[in-house]
Structure 1
Amino acid sequence: MTEPRTIKWRQLAAELRAKIQDGTHPPGSTLPQLKAYAAELGLHHETVRAAYKELEREGLVRTIQRRGSVVLEPPVRRRITRGVTITRDPSRGYVFPAASRPDEPWQVHGRPFREAVPALAQVSDEFELDPGAKVLRRRRVTSPAGEPPFQLVDTWLSPEAVKSAPKVADASPGPGGYLDRLEEAGHGPIAWEETSRVRMPDREEAKLLGIAQSIPVLESMIVGTSALTEKPIEVTIRVIPGDRVELTGKLQRGESAQWPVDPVEPPKSG
């Protein structure tokens, strides 16, 4: 009973996908109003809705209240080489492995802000705080110049960090940013550990990144540990839409996998 409808929504999704790709429905345009389009095609409105949802899952459109299904700019997939080396730029301070190329200009979307808000569970756990405790969060949405939002970056600073280095709470902490202020306050050299995972975004994250909530994201959490207290002092969580990034890294042979392979000597007979 459901197969004919299933075929129809898949066919409709394929037709709309082709129209998006050939520019019939350019980025920023809106797909036809759902019920009117269904009537025009002689289809049930749930069939059209299923086709639109499929395009949303693929990251081709995004449903916006009072506008409908808006066609998105084609995502630019960027490759991240998962290195472990942190470098330093005299003008910017520490530089962590990222998807940017040397000297590539990046832009900020919207206005970065900082505010004490209830910490995420993993953040309060790292800082050994009670669940829901307020922690200073610095938030910004950035991308390479001219591209749609690429990443949402939240930096959480422990109460100890703010107390010992008050400038980390300023809009402009100064040369080298908040990390230099922390190390100058006695927490250097900070040691970092990174953990990555794939998950689904919450509503606010999807809105800030301009994606549907059905698009998985790559989350990278970097925990900075103070050399003074030997406890986490800052946590940075970077969220990147899954359709805009791929991870790469070179594989190396261990000693047991060297070539040519050492011949195996046959067992000696009695």
Structure 2
Amino acid sequence: MSAPQITGWRALREVIHGRILSGTYPPGARLPRDADLAGELGCARTTVQRAMRALADEGLVERKRKGGTRVLARPVTRATFDIPVAREEVEATGRAYGYQLVAREIAETPHSVAAAMGLPAPQRMLRAQALHLADRRPFMYEDRWINLVTVPEIAHVDLTAESANEWLLAHRPYSRYTLRFSAANATPEQAGLLGTQDGAALFVIERCTFLGLAPITCVTALAPPGYALTTGT
């Protein structure tokens, strides 16, 4: 069987991108040499180099002189908006990060979550509720649903030791996401978890990630008064 012929760097970029998303090249893996990829895919070495530059600019890979090309530990997080990682947000301010798993269960998703995931009906998924801390004080509460069809191995991960957010970013790259910001008044239960007053204004982040059309996870994150989200390029 002859090797597939790549006619341009954009087509090659899509091939390598697909291999990263599928796990053929997992996070942290070293990619084949440019010359080897050129021979495998029937294109010029300069085509490979141009495609790799594009992937590096997008935050998918890291290229080092004499060190080769590696998939970044958190690929596809440098899009038009960086997905917040609570640990990094807390530590960037000089505070100590902490984490508590509030609850974990296999349950049927609400209709609203199924709709956000593009599913025709609710499905049984892993629900993980967690509290992120800054200097031992509540920083953010998250209520997360994880699709066990797309991410079956999450069922065996110890989420008391590692947040689902960090595990998913390290082990399940996504190809697209939806993101919504809003405000809401804290319910008594939410106020208790976040250490604020009943009815206090909360900052709400609703996010779903996908691998192609397959949903990976949907999370609603709530932050108490005083939280600020900063981004830039």
- Normalising by structure 2, we get a TM-score of 0.52
Question: Does 1:108 pair with 2:99?
Answer: yes
- Alignment coverage as a number of residue pairs: 152
The partner residue of 1:231 within 214, 225, 230 is 214
Q: TM-score, normalised by structure 1?
A: 0.46
Query: What are the residue-to-residue correspondences of 1:61-72 with 2, within 5 Å?
Result: none
Amino acid at match of 1:158: N
Asked if 1:198 is matched to 2:183, the reply is yes
Change (3 A) 1:86 1:234: farther
- Moved segments of 4+, more than 4 Å: 85-88, 92-95, 172-176, 247-250
Query: C-alpha distance in 1, partners of 2:105/2:214?
Result: 22
- SS of the aligned residue for 2:199 comes to coil
Q: How does 1:19-168 map to 2 (within 5 A)?
A: 93=74, 96-97=83-84, 99-102=89-92, 104-109=95-100, 111-127=101-117, 128=119, 130=121, 133-146=123-136, 148-162=137-151, 165-168=152-155
Find the residue that maps to 1:123 and give its secondary structure. helix
Aligned to 1:210: 195
In the alignment, the residues of structure 2 paired with residue 86 and residue 157 of structure 1 have an alpha-carbon distance, to the nearest angstrom, of 24
Q: State which structure, 1 or 2, has the greater radius of gyration over its C-alpha atoms.
A: 1
What stretches of structure 2 of length at least 5 have no aligned partner?
1-57, 62-70
Q: Given the superposition, is the C-alpha separation of residues 139 and 120 from structure 1 closer, same or farther in structure 2, using an over 3 Å criterion?
A: same
Tell me, yes or no, if the aligned pair for 1:126 and 1:232 is still in contact at 8 Å: no
Three-state SS of the structure 2 residue aligned to 1:244 is coil
Q: Is the 8 A contact 1:195 1:222 kept in 2?
A: yes
Partner of 2:7: none
Cross-structure match for 2:158: 171
CA RMSD of aligned residues (A): 3.7
Amino acid of the structure 1 residue aligned with 2:104: R
Deviations 1:171-202 (A, max 9, x none): 25989613444x3xxxx443222111001223
Question: Secondary structure of the residue that 1:211 maps to in structure 2?
Answer: coil
Matched to 1:150, the amino acid is: F
Which of 226, 233, 240 is 2:223 aligned to? 240
CA gap 1:124/1:203 in 2 versus in 1, 3 angstroms: farther
2:197 counterpart letter in structure 1? A
Contact 1:192–1:225 (CA under 8 A) maintained in structure 2: yes
| Separation (CA, whole Å) in 1 of partners of 2:141 and 2:153 | 24
Cα shift at 1:117: 3.1
Structure 1 SS opposite 2:150 = helix
Identity of aligned residues (%): 16
Partner of 2:66: none
| Native 8 Å contact 1:191 1:226 kept in 2 | yes
> What 5-or-longer segments of structure 1 have no aligned partner?
1-84, 251-270
In structure 2, what is the Cα distance between the partners aligned to 1:235 and 1:105?
A: 27
Assess, with a 3 A threshold, how the Cα gap between structure 1 residues 174 and 249 changes in structure 2: closer, same or farther: closer
Change (3 A) 1:224 1:112: same
The answer as to whether partners of 1:156 and 1:235 remain within 8 angstroms in 2 is yes
Aligned-partner Cα distance in 2 for 1:149–1:108: 9
Distance 2:202 2:150 in 1: 29
SS in structure 2 of the partner of residue 212 of structure 1: coil
Which AA in structure 2 matches 1:207?
Answer: G
